[in-house]
Structure 1
Amino acid sequence: MIIKGIENMDGGNIMSQIQQGGKFVIYTYCFSIILVTFRRSSNIYFIRAGEGSVKKGLKYTLLTLLLGWWGIPWGPIYSIGGLITNFRGGKDITNEVLASLSGQQAQ
């Protein structure tokens, strides 16, 4: 699993940031090729406490705006869903990441 934004941070720093409002998020995007639409998720991003999360997902939002609409019927549907998710700051997956990390440490 690739997590962007935790470089040079240890587990204590990450947990401290989460307690202050930090979170792990993913962004969604889609692109269409004629009649085929692909919906994907970004790598995981760590958003520190007080940091905006919409800006980090901007490249996925732009990709969807430019290339997502063209597949019928799913292009517009997936594009609208992805744009809503990204403009809300991405999908918060903090609990899932913490569960995964604690499971790896227990082994």
Structure 2
Amino acid sequence: MPIIKNIDSLTADEIHHELQKGAKFVKFQYCISVIVLTFKNSSDIYFIKAGESTAKHSLSFILLSLLLGWWGFPMGPLHTIKSLYTNMKGGTDITQELLSAHAYTDTGTGA
């Protein structure tokens, strides 16, 4: 089961209500390079409430990529730029993917 951050002590009903108002589940990307090795990874999942900015959650991943992503050749700069772009536009919204997977596991049939 993936880790979901920023969910605090919300109940399932409260999460559902927030999702109806426009909340979303988001992942951020980061890049770390060491000479010829470059690692492009995704963060844990963050629950972003309706109207909440993703900036405070994406900032650490932006800084991590800026500091450690460039140094791998040849893919470091490319993956760093992609990670920065993704994070600056608010991360990757995986709400539908996560809810679909959850519905599948709830019913046990996938239907």
Q: Extract unaligned runs of 5+ from structure 2.
A: none
Q: Is the contact made by 1:54 and 1:88 (CA closer than 8 Å) also made in structure 2? A: no
Q: Give, in angstroms, the shift of residue 38 of structure 1.
A: 0.5
Q: Give, in angstroms, the shift of residue 15 of structure 1.
A: 1.4
Q: Is the contact made by 1:54 and 1:90 (CA closer than 8 Å) also made in structure 2? A: no
The corresponding residue for 1:21 is: 22
CA distance in 1, matches of 2:66, 2:43: 16
Superposed, 1:19-98 pairs within 5 Å as 19-98=20-99
CA distance in 2, matches of 1:59, 1:67: 12
Q: Is the contact made by 1:30 and 1:37 (CA closer than 8 Å) also made in structure 2? A: yes
Q: Is the contact made by 1:24 and 1:92 (CA closer than 8 Å) also made in structure 2? A: yes
CA distance in 2, matches of 1:24, 1:76: 27
1:4 aligns with 2:9: no
In percent, how many aligned pairs have the same letter? 47
Counterpart amino acid of 2:63? L
Q: Deviations over 1:58-98 (max 9, x none)?
A: 11110000000011110000000000000011100000111
CA distance in 1, matches of 2:78, 2:58: 19
User: Which aligned segments of 4 or more residues in structure 1 are displaced greater than 2 angstroms?
Assistant: none
TM-score normalised by the chain length of structure 2:
0.92
SS in 1 for 2:50: coil
SS in 1 for 2:98: helix
TM-score normalised by the chain length of structure 1:
0.95
Q: Deviations over 1:17-36 (max 9, x none)?
A: 11111000000001000111
CA RMSD, 1 decimal: 0.9
Q: Extract unaligned runs of 5+ from structure 1.
A: none
